[in-house]
Amino acid sequence: MRQYILDPCETLYASQGNIMLVGYARTSTLEQEAGLEAQRRDLEALGCGKVFSEKASSVATRAALETALEFIREGDTLVVTKLDRLARSVVHLGAILDTLTAKGAHLRIVAMNVDTGTATGKLMLNVMASVAQFEREMMLERQREGIAKAKADGKYKGRKPTAMAKKDEIARMAEEGVGATEIARQLGIGRASVYRALST
């Protein structure tokens, strides 16, 4: 279950007028509460006037992050201890940066010593995002080359058959009186797939 906590401590502000450092902390649903507490302590020690925190997996919707992005005002800085606490992918990071830029706000990643409020910090983050994207493209290219070589060598078997490809076998077993659960077990597919195949 995802935990969502909003720490309402608004007494600490950044040094420039009422511009605020806004902290965001996250741990996965499998990690311990202590990890979340440690992030909150670090963010408050850095001067974050508000800290939004939650327990959420890397792919889950992040309600606290969305709330933090809505809360941030012009001149504010979103602060995270590490990049992997914030973004799930390069695309996700880009979307967060776009939101902050549109609001006139900045991003600080403590472990990387990056602050997009400075020209150097913005450049560093763009370079790192570009490198990550390049690595992903290279990985996909190697994957395509591997598939092409396997096909040339006659070793590529392609994707495993889907449940619909087993439709005739599913129908035969059903006619023989085999139940949906047993069909799914024997064919290595989901029971819902069995019902779909039988209904078409």
Catalogue the active-site residues: 28
Widest Cα–Cα separation across the chain: 78
Single out the residue of 62, 111, 70, 116 nearest to residue 89, CA to CA: 62
Contacts 24+ apart (CB under 8 A), 61-66: 62/26, 63/2, 63/4, 64/4, 64/5, 64/6, 64/24, 64/26, 65/24, 65/26, 65/96
Give 6's contacts (C-beta < 8 A, 6+ positions apart): 50, 52, 53, 64, 67
Q: Residue 66 corresponds to which tokens in the numbers above?
A: 């969305």
Strands of 111-169, DSSP E: 114-115
Which whole-number Å values give the CA distances from 79 to 39, 99, 148, 185, in the listed order? 11, 14, 45, 49
How far apart, in whole angstroms, are the C-alpha atoms of residue 10 and residue 8? 6
Amino acid at 5: I
